[in-house]
């Protein structure tokens, strides 16, 4: 039975950069794939913390081939426009962990599209859900002796689970759960900012600050 830890990583704003959205919209504009009025509306939407960002739907409404749009993005956007700069080093530091990407979204096809732009993540298992990540983990948590796992990881057992997320509301449901370690990455200027510290949650501003035994 394995004794390595299970490292669960959120995707948006933890690994996947917020910079992407504006650069993607401007790239679509440069290639004349979206009407100017749609571009202007999207540039406002992506700066609104209350809005869910889905850029596939307006592309489809404009009759754009979304595979073509994603191909353009994959070819022309730099690494730093997609993943935060601290992601490769963080992944390299935690090769002993079983790493999975756990992401939520209103439109899972948009999440899949963004993941397709991240070759650095291609070897990791991805779980796409609609619900709160903390509650999902609680509902799917399994224990055997002193080991833990998730129901999606049949036959795999770990000495503990580490969850890294930018949203504190995804972490709060797991506070106090044995063998679960919680980290919030609150990047400067990011969409979700905490209003208070929470006992049981480590608060950092970058992946470089995360040190897991």
List the chain domain ranges.
6-16+83-209, 19-79
pTM of the model as a whole:
0.90
**107-146 CB burial, b ≥16 within 10 A, e <16:** eeebbebbbebbeebeebeebebeebbbebbeeebeeeee
Question: Looking at residue 205, what is its pLDDT?
Answer: 93
pLDDT in tens, 31-83: 999 999 999 999 988 887 667 778 888 888 889 898 899 999 989 988 777 99
- pLDDT at 4 exceeding the cut of 70: yes
What single-letter DSSP state applies at residue 154?
T
The pLDDT of residue 143:
94
The dotted CATH code for 6-16+83-209 is 3.40.50.1000
The mean pLDDT of 158-170, rounded to a whole number, is 95
CB 133 within 8 A of CB 192: no
Report how far residue 45's alpha carbon sits from residue 41's, in angstroms, rounded to the nearest whole number: 6
């Amino acid at each position: 039975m394995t004794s390595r830890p299970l490292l669960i990583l959120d995707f948006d704003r933890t690994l996947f950069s917020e910079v992407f959205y504006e650069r993607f919209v401007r790239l679509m504009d440069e290639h004349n794939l979206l009407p100017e009025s749609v571009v202007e509306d999207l540039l406002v939407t992506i700066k609104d913390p209350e809005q869910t960002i889905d850029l596939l739907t307006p592309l489809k409404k404009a009759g754009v081939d979304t595979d073509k749009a994603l191909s353009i993005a994959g070819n022309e956007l730099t690494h730093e426009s997609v993943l935060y700069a601290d992601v490769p080093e963080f992944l390299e530091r935690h090769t002993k962990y079983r790493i999975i990407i756990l992401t939520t979204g209103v439109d899972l096809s948009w999440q899949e599209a963004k993941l397709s732009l991240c070759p650095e993540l291609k070897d990791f298992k991805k779980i796409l859900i609609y619900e709160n990540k903390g509650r999902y983990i609680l509902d799917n948590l399994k224990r055997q002796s002193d080991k833990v796992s998730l129901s999606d990881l049949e036959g795999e057992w770990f000495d503990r689970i580490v969850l890294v997320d930018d949203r504190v509301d995804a972490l709060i449901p797991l506070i106090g759960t044995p063998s679960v370690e919680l980290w919030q990455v609150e990047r400067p200027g990011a969409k979700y900012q905490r209003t208070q510290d929470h006992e049981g949650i480590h608060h950092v501003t970058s992946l470089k600050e995360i040190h897991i035994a």
